[in-house]
Amino acid sequence: MSALLLAMLGGAVVGLLLTLFGGGGSVLATPWLIYVVGVADPHLAIGTSAAAVAVNAATGLTAQARAGMVKWPCAIIFASSGLAGALIGAHLAKQMDGRALLVWFAFAMIAIAVSMLLPKRNEGDPEVRIDAAKVRPLATLGLAAGLAAGFFGIGGGFLIAPGLMAATGMTLANAGASSLVSVAVFGSATSASYAASGLVSWPLFVALVAGGGIGTLIALPLSRRLARQPRAARSVFAVMVMAVAGYILIAR
């Protein structure tokens, strides 16, 4: 099977998992490119997957915005402050040895998996509004989340949604929708930094995005079934992410 078809298949898997389980699915794109597609340079895999993550987030954001779920003032402050962090993180990552970066990436995957196992609460204020008291925590947490997203080349949704909730008191549903603003911004910044260094494979990027759309369509009818047992489904996915992280640590 050609590299482009394998990348499209990987995009479909990631798109399906993202639709079914939410944040965390995009972290599988980089390992797929390296260990299945055969991309030899970890930096090239990270840059390419970051570009695909940005497109997927922008697509999801459009739907959430139409549904009125995005708290734009809070989301924009968080994303704006995190933009600098994403660029700094991407720059630092490019200076590291690719294999050493993979080790850190595996630990980030484990952290994401653990976050998925934690109980999720939806309590919060659905009518939250921005005020002076919320600006500082939004900016501080946004900078930290952007730094992590840029360094690891991931969407960072597992950090962004909790950060938005902690800084503003918004609901989980609003935080998940609003986090897509930051995921799109951080992914764009990270991939732009990598692209400037010639570390994005555009043919593989197109294949990932195309596959992601297919995976999303496949997942839509399945999501209604899994909605009856969300904790069990997320637990299975978290274990799978941990298994992939373990493989990275062994195979490196």
Residue 225, pLDDT > 70, answer no
Place of tokens 């630092």: 92
The pLDDT value given to residue 241 = 82
Give the range among 2-11, 109-118, 226-235 with minimum mean pLDDT: 226-235
The phi, psi pair for 41, rounded to 5°, reads -95, 115
Residue 199, pLDDT > 80, answer yes
3-state helix/strand/coil string of 59-76: HHHHHHHHCCCCCHHHHH
Residue 18, pLDDT > 60, answer yes
Q: Break the chain into its structural domains and give their ranges.
A: 3-251
pTM value > 0.85: no
CB atoms near residue 228 (< 10 Å): 8
The pLDDT value given to residue 163 = 87
Residue 166, pLDDT > 90, answer no
Residue 41, pLDDT > 90, answer yes
Distance (Å, whole) CA 146 – CA 187: 9
In tens, the pLDDT along 57-97 reads: 888 888 888 888 899 999 999 999 999 999 999 999 999 99
Better pLDDT: 47 or 239 = 47
The pLDDT value given to residue 21 = 62
State the chain's mean pLDDT as an integer: 86
Residue 122, pLDDT > 60, answer no
The structure tokens listed for 203 are: 């043919």
Residue 43, pLDDT > 90, answer yes
Mean pLDDT score, 202-221: 88
